[in-house]
Amino acid sequence: MSILEGSEAAVGLTGLAGGASFLQAQERNAAISQSMQSAAQATNVKAGQIAQQGANAKQQQAERARQVRGRIRVASAAAGGTATQGSTRALDSSAGLTAGQNVANLERNTANAQLANRSQFAAQVASLQGQTVDPFLSAVQTGIQTGISLL
């Protein structure tokens, strides 16, 4: 085998290695892209769950507030009072204020959970994007490394 034939073989091997590296990089990037799509779908599902949990909690809070107000009115009536008397009105107003504060807290908690969900998704996407590979650069690097190792 002459030097020329040996260098032609080396160039061929270098090209094959670069081509294989190019294909591997494309496959890796496709898998990463699929992972990002899956993460987006999971984030959307979780966002829906968080919203539903928040709506359920608000509904439960509203029902508790109605029950408390009902108890106040029943206790007032049992004591011979009316719903318009000062102490009954004050208790009813206080119950309404507490219910409003509880709803505001539930809304903040839901909003914070949604922010955490989106933040987690953004971090996951950033991590996945950091794992992508430029197929052309990968092919060139592998080709050069293979060429050097054959020298």
pLDDT at 11: 63
pLDDT at 13: 67
Which CB contacts under 8 angstroms, 24+ apart, belong to 34-37? 35/128, 36/124, 36/125, 36/128, 36/129
pLDDT at 48: 97
Residue 45 belongs to what H/E stretch?
helix 3-78
pLDDT at 1: 47
Instruction: Kindly report the pTM of this predicted structure.
Output: 0.71
Q: CA 150, CA 1: separation in Å to the nearest integer?
A: 15
pLDDT at 151: 63
pLDDT at 142: 78
Q: CA 69, CA 97: separation in Å to the nearest integer?
A: 11
pLDDT at 74: 84
> Cα Rg for the chain, rounded, in angstroms?
33
Alpha carbon of residue 7 to chain centroid: 53
pLDDT at 3: 47
pLDDT tens digit at each of 151 positions of the chain = 444 455 666 666 677 777 788 888 899 999 999 999 999 999 999 999 999 999 999 999 999 998 988 888 888 888 776 656 777 788 888 888 888 899 999 999 999 999 999 999 999 999 999 989 888 888 778 777 776 776 6
Give Cα separations from 75 to 48, 80, 91, 95, 97 (angstroms).
41, 9, 11, 14, 19
Give Cβ neighbours of residue 32 (< 8 Å, ≥ 6 apart).
128, 129, 131, 132
- What is the CA angle 32-36-40, rounded to 5? 170
Domain ranges of the chain: 3-150
